[in-house]
Structure 1
Amino acid sequence: MEVVEPVAAGWQLITAALVAIALLVLLITILKLHPFLALILGGLTVGVLAGENVNDVLASFTTGFGATAAGVGALIALGAMFAKLLADSGGADQIVDTIVGRASGRMLPWAMALVGALIGLPMFFEIGLVLLMPVIYLVARRARVSLITVGIPALAGLSAMHGFVPPHPGPVTAIDYLGADLGVTLGLGILVAVPTIIVAGPLFGALAGRWVVVEPPHTWEGDERDGARRPSFHVTLATVLLPVVLMLGKAVLDIVIDDPENTVQQVGDVIGNPFVALLIAVLVAMFTFGVGTGMDRSAISRTVADSLPPIAGILLIVAAGGGFKQVLVDTGIGTLLADWAKGANVSVLLLAWVLAVLIRLATGSATVATITASSLMIGLVEGMSTGETSLVVLAVGAGSVFFSHVNDAGFWLVKEYFGMSVGQTVKTWSLMESVLSVTGLVVVLILGIFV
């Protein structure tokens, strides 16, 4: 990565960055402007205040916009197609029913955490929550426990996957910006997610269930899908894990063989490429989740088509974030921050987490926090190993989920589904997100000792 020399004095660049971030916060939280438009205006503000020619700023922004849309957009689209096929086929229900059905009363929170993680692996948080709510209600009624006791572990599984594991938009975007290896980040992300989910899920859920007791409603009672049309549990699990195995396999081959001329490694590099791995997974899912459950070609086509409109906003936000990032890079703010961090001997992992936390608290958006924090970290990953760069991605991901509160749409989604007051939601969901974030950071710092 080429080091970009600052285009102005340090104080001017820092002022430009702070004003742009403050503008983002103002536009998104106070004026309720869509993040897509806010990121465009923020990017232009950085460049102009840094003293760049307006045409150069526009060129930087559009270059970053296009590069990000090309690099990340296809992955998000393929992930959405896969998730929609999983949901419409009943595969998600099959995972839930199989795991929860085999769990004893004491193990239910642990089973719900596992279900949340598996459903969260291919699905966006909001979609996973909607799918899981009927099950959370049913399990809480059967076990006669607070909705929080079984709901928090499921939410922890969903949120951890959203923050740490590709192909979710946040991790994929940070990987693209920082030049991290997706397979290595995926493997380390799972290592970080497992203990984090345990602490923030079943363990914290047991405490939160005592603090806040919410009786499960009778919504969706008796509303069950036709199990005869579902894919089997083993077929569903194998299909869900297929892209994960392909991407992890590429990372392992690159480490074990480490010879670009080796045929096996070349094949692994192709099928383990994130784009190809997800494409293969979608094509396989069209058979296992489509043809295998009795869908005809038109039904499969309709399911795939229906997956795309809901992610249009996410794609635009991520792409605009790429433009914002490129302006930051081209003004040399990243280089300036890198020099400061090295001179002050500040932990890069801790700095990445703190930046993401501050932007998350201010804007309420995990995606905006990831985009902005990873943009500022670009100059600091110079010379880092593959593993170290992946840990920076995960530190940003951990910070991006910290303390969801009233400026986050997810906060209100959880509040309404669980039927809680604002105070109860803070004591359960918001604190769970904070525990998840801090635990994730601790695990990342521990891994940083060995990587």
Structure 2
Amino acid sequence: MPLLITAIAVVILILLISIWKMNTFIALIIVSAGAALAFGIPVEKVAATIESGIGGTLGHIALIFGLGAMLGRLVADAGGAQRIALTLINKFGEQKIQWAIFIASFIVGIAMFFEVGLVLLIPIVFSVAREMRVNPLYLGISMLSALLATHCFLPPHPGPTVIAGEYGADLGSVLTYGCIIAIPIVIICGPLFTKISQKIIPSAFEKVGDITALGTQKTFKDNEMPGFGVSLLTSMLPVILMMIATFASGIFSKGSFISNTISFIGNPSIAMLISILLAMYTMGIARNISIKDIMGSCYASISAIGMMLLIIGGGGAFKQVLIVGGVGNYIGELFVGTSLSPILLAWGVAAILRIALGSATVAALSTAGLVVPILSNYDVNLALVTLATGAGSSIASHVNDAGFWMVKEYFGLTLKETFATWTFMSTILSILGLIMLLCLDVFL
């Protein structure tokens, strides 16, 4: 019965979002309430369970998520992201332009959420493609693979940040292992996959694309942009601080002054706070931008992620209902005595939910509700389980995913061409992520 109720709840959620076009947050709350009643949770505790799921999820990530959005917006509005992209493009030259796009997108992708990074970088990709007389998709696949990998594997993006909190994984370890697997995956799914795609679906590389829907994009003159070094440091500082804390924990004795200081600075929330303060100076004050305009960028970034925060909260509510309803415990009993890796289990559940629901974040959060209760039965690295969930939630982006339609429309592709490029690439990225995580698990 627990699995049947869960399956019915997921089907209803799919119908509400995909068929009846209901707002995702509202659909999640309706399904969560209905599932809670079906699980036999007392009527007087249904609302409390939903509120607990929303509060528990947002309470952990709201600060990191909010400051991360502000950091990305400040870097973009000051021209820092454009400086990073253009500098790398100029350094690599025409022969290695794909690698320049890949590296620039990876760096920018760390500081910005997928949709924001896509809207910011795609005009640059189209501009460079025109200048070098190549098809936009020839450069676009490298950009898309980098943005998708950072979205699914690297904090402060919502998926890995939220799931790390739910599983109790160390966010610094998630970031470190995420970088280890993300970089080679993006190389394979970017420049190398582009060569394969040109042979599989050559018609996709003949389209000119259309980004007029993005409106007029702000472009900066050279003297209006901050320097490359300061732009790179500002964008990467959260990653640098969290990685330093992770490595330092294995060097300095726990409880020492140095260890405590580095741990404090490398705490994800404090690292983001330090980074946003630096960004306010390097991307604002140092460039004679008024505090009012700096705060304007911060306000704009938060308003842009408001609905995403609600959706994450709604996913947390559904996750909590699954836990309180006993679904996770039931699944745990099914797997008692089995040798199935929880890494493979988390990936599989997230992949199924991603294909069904479309949203990578909702799929990842729902997976947590099913997987968390069984983790105590296994001696497993929780950071790897977190990344496996992220990998599963990136698979097979198709017609129920907003990203699918953005790629299709901007690059002027047909449905067949979008499936053969974007959907195929996201699937390869997901499967490679699982393979590399299983390999890492052998050595950790």
TM-score normalized by structure 2? 0.94
1:295 partner letter = I
Q: In 2, distance between residues paired with 1:54 and 1:450?
A: 48
Is the 1:356–1:373 contact (alpha carbons within 8 Å) kept by the matching residues of 2?
A: yes
Match of 1:61 in 2: 50
Gaps of 5+ in 2: none
Question: Structure 2 CA distance, aligned partners of 1:222 and 1:382?
Answer: 50
Matched, 1:121 2:110: yes
Pairing 1:418–2:411 present? yes
Determine the structure 1 residue equivalent to 2:150.
Answer: 161
Partner of 2:205: 213
Return the alpha-carbon distance in structure 1 between the equivalents of residues 217 and 262 of structure 2.
Answer: 46
1:179 to 147, 165, 168: 168
2:388·2:437 contact (CA, 8 Å) conserved in 1?
yes
8 Å contact 2:243–2:266 — kept in the other structure? yes
- Percent of residue pairs bearing the same amino acid type: 37
Whether 2:320 is the aligned partner of 1:326: answer yes
Contact 2:316 2:366 in 1 (8 A): no
1:338 maps to what in 2? 332
Alignment partners' CA distance in 1, 2:174 and 2:12: 32
CA distance in structure 2 between the partners assigned to 1:384 and 1:229 by the alignment? 54
Distance (whole Å) between structure 1 residues aligned to residue 250 and residue 156 of structure 2: 22
Task: Supply the distance in 1 between the matched residues of 2:210 and 2:360 (Cα, whole angstroms).
Answer: 32
Asked if residue 37 in structure 1 is aligned to residue 26 in structure 2, the reply is yes
Q: Is the 8 A contact 1:243 1:278 kept in 2?
A: yes
State how many pairs are aligned.
438
Kept in 1, the 8 Å contact 2:210–2:410? The answer is no
Could you tell me which of 221, 227, 230 is aligned with 2:222?
227
Change (3 A) 1:383 1:295: farther
Going from structure 1 to structure 2, the CA distance change for 1:312 and 1:331 (only over 3 Å counts) comes to same
Q: Given residue 365 of structure 1, which amino acid in structure 2 is its aligned partner? A: S
Aligned to 1:299: 293
Q: Is the 8 A contact 1:353 1:395 kept in 2?
A: yes
In the alignment, is residue 407 of structure 1 matched against residue 392 of structure 2?
Answer: no
Q: Which amino acid aligns with 1:242?
A: L
1:254-289 deviation per Cα after TM superposition (whole angstroms, max 9, x unaligned): 222251x21111112211111111011001100001
Residue number in structure 2 paired with 1:279: 273
Q: 1:427 aligns with which of 403, 412, 420?
A: 420
CA change 1:42–1:256 in 2 (3 A) is farther
The one-letter code of the counterpart of 2:98 is P
For the residues of structure 2 that align with 1:151 and 1:223, how far apart are their CA atoms? 20
Structure 2 contact 159–364 (Cα < 8 Å) conserved? yes
- The 5 A counterparts of 1:62-81 are 62-81=51-70
Tell me: CA distance 1:255–1:23, structure 2 relative to 1, closer, same or farther (3 Å). farther
Call closer, same or farther: CA 1:223–1:393 in 2, change over 3 Å. Answer: closer
Q: Does 1:99 align with 2:94?
A: no
Q: Distance in 2 between matches of 1:28 and 1:175?
A: 26
The offset of 1:43, in angstroms, is 1.8
Pick aligned residue for 1:250 from 241, 245, 254: 245
Matched, 1:450 2:443: yes
Where does residue 112 of structure 1 map in the other structure?
101
Q: CA contact under 8 A between 1:148 and 1:428: conserved in structure 2?
A: no
Q: Distance in 2 between matches of 1:282 and 1:305?
A: 13
Q: Is the 8 A contact 2:209 2:410 kept in 1?
A: no
Quote the residue 2:354 is aligned against.
360
Once the two structures are TM-superposed, the CA of residue 341 in structure 1 deviates from its matched residue by 2.2
Residue 172 of structure 1: how far off its partner (Å): 0.9
Counterpart of 2:226 in 1: which secondary structure?
coil
Q: Does the 8 Å CA contact 2:136/2:209 hold for their aligned counterparts?
A: no
Indicate how the Cα distance of structure 1 residues 222 and 322 shifts in structure 2: closer, same or farther if over 3 A, else same: closer
- 1:8 equivalent in structure 2: none
Contact 2:164–2:386 (CA under 8 A) maintained in structure 1: yes
The DSSP-based 3-state class of the residue aligned with 2:156 is coil
TM-score for the superposition, normalised by structure 1 = 0.93
In 1, the alpha carbon distance for the partners of 2:209 and 2:420 equals: 20
Partner residue of 1:351?
Answer: 345
Alignment-mate amino acid for residue 391 of structure 1: L
Q: Residue 425 of structure 1: SS of its match in structure 2?
A: helix
Instruction: Tell me which residue corresponds to 2:376.
Output: 382
1:331 Cα offset (Å): 2.2
Do the aligned partners of residues 223 and 284 (structure 1) sit closer, same or farther apart at CA in structure 2, a change above 3 Å counting?
Answer: closer
What's the offset of the Cα at 1:174? 0.7
- Aligned pair partner of 1:237 in 232, 243, 246: 232
Aligned residue among 309, 323, 329 for 1:315: 309
Q: Which amino acid aligns with 1:147?
A: P
Query: Which digits, 9 at most, give the CA deviation of each residue in 1:175-194, with x for residues without a partner?
Result: 11111110000101111101
- CA shift, 1:384, in A, is 5.3
SS of 1:342 mapped into structure 2: coil
Amino acid at match of 2:411: F
Please give the per-residue CA displacement for 1:125-182, whole angstroms capped at 9, x wherever unaligned. 1111111112211222233222222110111000100010011111111111111110
Mean alpha-carbon deviation: is it higher for 143-152 or for 397-406? Answer: 143-152
Provide the C-alpha distance between the structure 2 equivalents of 1:371 and 1:243, rounded to a whole number of angstroms: 24
Contact 2:72 / 2:235 at 8 angstroms: preserved in 1?
no
CA contact (8 A) 1:341 1:348 kept: no
Matches of 2:52 and 2:196, distance apart in 1 = 49
SS in 1 for 2:399: coil
Alignment partner for residue 189 of structure 1, among 151, 171, 178?
178
Deviation by residue 1:398-430 (Cα, 9 ceiling, x = unmatched): 111111111111111111111111111111111
**Matched position secondary structure for 1:121:** helix
2:77 is the counterpart of 1:88: yes
Shift of 1:397: 0.6
Maintained 8 Å contact 2:209/2:409: no
- 3-state SS of paired residue (1:369): helix
Equivalent pair of 1:355/1:373 in contact (CA under 8 Å): yes
Q: Which runs of 5+ in 1 are unaligned?
A: 1-11
CA distance in 2, matches of 1:66, 1:436: 32
Deviates more, 1:217-226 or 1:365-374: 217-226
